[in-house]
Structure 1
Amino acid sequence: MPPQAPIEGGADVVIVGAGAAGLSLARRLTAPQVAEGGPASVVVIEPPAGSSLRSPDRTWCFWENDPGEYDSLVAARWRRMRITARDGRTTSAAFPRTYKMIRSTDFLREVGAELAQRPGVRTVEATVTRVRDVPGGAEVTGRDAGGRPVRLRGGWVFDSRPPHDLPAARTTLLQHFRGWFVTTRDDRFEPGVADLMDFRTRQPERGLSFAYVLPFTPREALVEYTVFSAEPLPEAAYDAALDAYVRTARPLGALLVTGVEQGVIPMTDGVFARRAGERVFRIGVAGGATRPSTGYAFAAIQRQTAAVAAAWHAGRTPQPPQPHAARHRLMDAVMLRALATGRAGGAAFFEGLFGRNPPDRVLRFLDGTSTLRDEWAIGLNTPVPAMLRALGELPAVPRRKGRACS
């Protein structure tokens, strides 16, 4: 049997990965209403259908002013939040900006369909094996589902695949979670109120755990059990914790679990390299978009891809910017160190954070829109001795090689 002809081609930009970062960048680069120079030609490479390399279905939450860019895809939104302490006391407040949820299935389907209508966009299904600089640009090679070689060249390549290994870091925790989409027999939820953190869960010795409840209707919600710790749990442990929560801490009565989501998000003060070659960059989670202290990434991905597209259209080197301010990354590093060493109890830390500060101030910090004045006040209302000790020892803590990502 003769060898199959390779899949070849070229474009202004080649994007590896068709998730939130890859599709957002492709959409911005090829928007018809761009300035001089016109839209870019783009090739998007995604793993073949059915491949284990494709990301599982998930939900993305973020804060945003109305109206928003992707409002047509928003599955639910909340105007108020609630924090519940271990003793049952609650703190409630309005969100500074609307809290929104997008389902990844909706985003990938709709944005993918939009891109399919743009003449400068080509999608190739292949498993990428190599990304490298070549004279005049960069090259991506791999194989399609049938084993046929794939070789694509671009003036620039943006790699959005999750990193295989985490960067060297002083502190690395994992945010791991499992959520049930539930339907209850009776009205049990307030659709306009998101339970951002409910600490009436069993707390680990180091780190913290909490329940996270996002109601869609009075009888439908996502109920999630989240843990910040060094290692994930067995799947049965998450289900046991969720079962205990909906039976005792927040009794929901008869219910039906209609779906499940599960994931692991690294919380690390390691520095993600955004440049992988002269003409190769990393974007999205691979480019440091995940906020170390919260695990949020979607809004940062939008900021990062918007900056990349603006630079390309202006004829500048389209290097992805650091998505998070240096002072936020420092505060996150201190918090992670204090939690990982056990000097600050996780539940007590966050209960105090919301209890001693106006909730909108804390939410601005979590959203990445806080001012220096906000951050100074927040710092004074944390366990100051533990925070100062963590801050003081950071320069002497060695950065250790990152663990492999699951």
Structure 2
Amino acid sequence: MSNFDYIIIGAGAAGLLLADALGNDDFFSSSSILIIDQDNKTKNDRTWCFWESGNGKFDHLLHKSWPIIHFAGKELNRSSPIAPYRYKMLRGIDFYDHYVEKIKKNPNVTWVKDRVIMVEENGKKVLVTCQNGFFSGRMAFDSRFNPEPVRKQQKYPLLQQHFMGWFIKTEKPVFNPEEATFMDFSIPQKGNTRFMYVLPFSQTEALLEYTLFSENLLEKSEYENGIQDYMEQNFGRIAFEITDVEQGTIPMTCYGFHKHNSNRIVHIGVAGGWAKPSTGFTFYNTSKRVTTLVDHLKKNKPFTEFYKKGRFWFYDLLLLDILHRQNHLGQSIFESMFKKRKPQLILKFLDEETSLWEDLKIISACPKMPFIKALFQRMFL
């Protein structure tokens, strides 16, 4: 049985960023690192989007970025420059190509293609059972998401951000490549929180994504019809071809995934609760959490103390409570925010970087009664 200092299970964003951070830090120069993933990471299996002020460490890998975002609802149709922010898009394949090659060059890293079956703590070791072998390590970082503990409890609601996206190429120029549609709630809500998300790469190429914040997934045809209807309503019956399709779901919950951590097994990425509960945005938050995690490792702090609830967790919890009980209210809540506040402040708030005074500005822009009811219901749970 091969033994390592650190075992990273899953070579997604969290696993690769963690492996890279460990490899770049002299503190871990004598540490042995194992990465286990059942995939070669040679496919463009996802896209990540985030906003950032100024230049960032992923800029050289970006597929596109936008200086303007568009928001639409029942009574609002507004395009806004977001300087000093830019809205940024990173393709999975570009991320993998860069980080996998870089990490594999590190002599301290071993890469194994295999499927992990079981991870268990045994005294001063972690034992990892794979389909084709066994490994042990001093610590393991597990990115496999298990939804069962969330589904079995009732304290914290579980919604999904679920979506289907078409990468399309149109016959004629119709898109503004300088403007990303962040949320377009003008589409029929059908009792849910539904919006379109449009990322133009040129005047004739874009990603159009039909997205919901709701409890249950849809039939494939409903996502497809939603995108088709949006194209016709906004661009007419223009000819286009679908060059690629993406579909996925991200859990939206304030459930405490961190309580499944021990001092030798730490859950990372979505499995660690690193997705922003109220929006599903994960990539940029993961990047920040990896930095905190590495610092925690260097200080040799217990990992049962790695996560602490803050006020933003509570804000997210109230919103999810509202959308769980009255899913149709999402459109009015987001529209009210964008109608009354600048997008830069909203983006700063969603990044959890606002002051308490700025928080109050955002909260005061939202419809009052749903949040007051949610607060009282949560207090007496």
TM-score, normalised by the number of residues in structure 1: 0.87
Q: 2:160 aligns with which of 170, 174, 189?
A: 174
Amino acid at match of 2:135: L
Q: 1:176 to 1:374 in 2, by over 3 A?
A: same
Which of 335, 352, 361 pairs up with 2:345? Answer: 361
Q: Does 1:107 align with 2:95?
A: yes
**Which residue matches 2:139?**
156
1:20 corresponds to: 13
**Which residue pairs with 1:235 in the alignment?**
220
Change in CA separation of 1:170 and 1:325 when aligned onto 2, cut-off 3 Å: closer
Given candidates 128, 136, 146, the residue that maps to 1:140 is 128
> Please, which of 168, 180, 189 is the counterpart of residue 175 of structure 2?
189
Match of residue 270, structure 2, among 272, 285, 304: 285
Q: Partners in 1 of 2:195 and 2:190 — Cα distance?
A: 10
Structure 2 residue aligned with 1:395: 379
Query: Matched residues in 1 for 2:165 and 2:212: separation?
Result: 12
For the residue of structure 2 that corresponds to 1:43, the secondary structure is: strand
Q: Tell me the CA shift for residue 186 of structure 1.
A: 1.7
How many Å separate the matches in 1 of 2:297 and 2:335?
A: 44
Code of the residue aligned with 2:285 in structure 1: it is A
Cα distance between partner residues in 2 of 1:219 and 1:67: 27
Query: Structure 2: how far apart are the matches of 1:172 and 1:117?
Result: 40
Matched, 1:248 2:242: no
Q: In structure 2, what is the equivalent of residue 336 of structure 1? A: 320
Give 5+ residue unaligned stretches, structure 1: 1-7, 145-149, 398-406
Q: Secondary structure of 2:198's match?
A: strand
> Which range moves more in the overlay, 108-117 or 285-294?
108-117
1:374 and 2:367 correspond? no
Secondary structure of 2:156's aligned partner: coil
Cα distance in 1 for partners of 2:263, 2:184 equals 46
Q: Provide the C-alpha distance between the structure 2 equivalents of 1:238 and 1:21, rounded to a whole number of angstroms.
A: 28
TM-fit CA distance, 1:239: 0.4
Distance 1:96 1:386 in 2: 32
The 1:71/1:343 distance shift into structure 2, 3 A limit, reads closer
TM-score by length of 2: 0.92
Distance of 2:333 and 2:237 partners within structure 1 = 28
**Cα deviation code 1:51-105 (max 9, x no counterpart):** xxx9981101112233222222111111111101235632423154222111112
Rounded to whole Å, the distance in 1 between the matches of 2:376 and 2:337 is: 21
Tell me if the contact between 2:261 and 2:303 (Cα under 8 Å) persists in the aligned partners: no
Q: Is the contact made by 2:70 and 2:77 (CA closer than 8 Å) also made in structure 1?
A: no
Give 3-state SS (helix, strand or coil) of 2:88's partner: strand
Q: CA deviation at 1:325?
A: 6.0
SS of 1:115's partner is helix
Percent of paired sites with the same residue: 31
Spell out the pairing of 1:4-83 with structure 2 (5 A cutoff). Answer: 8-31=1-24, 34-36=25-27, 38=29, 40-47=31-38, 57-83=45-71
Q: CA deviation at 1:295?
A: 0.4
1:312 Cα deviation (Å)? Answer: 2.7
Selected match of 2:210 from 202, 222, 225: 225
> Cα gap change, 1:325/1:93 in structure 2, threshold over 3 Å: closer, same or farther?
farther
How far apart in 1 are the matches of 2:266 and 2:218? 33
Tell me how large the CA RMSD over aligned residues is: 2.3
Query: How far is 1:363 from its partner?
Result: 1.6
The equivalent residue for 1:401 is none
Of 196, 207, 213, which aligns to 1:211? 196
Q: Distance in 1 between matches of 2:333 and 2:28?
A: 51
Residues 319 and 106 of structure 1: is their aligned pair in 2 closer, same or farther, counting only changes over 3 Å? farther
Which one of 246, 252, 257 corresponds to residue 267 of structure 1? 252
Return the offset for 1:257. 1.0
Q: How far 1:232 moved relative to its partner?
A: 0.5
Q: Quote the residue 1:308 is aligned against.
A: 293
1:403 aligns to what? none
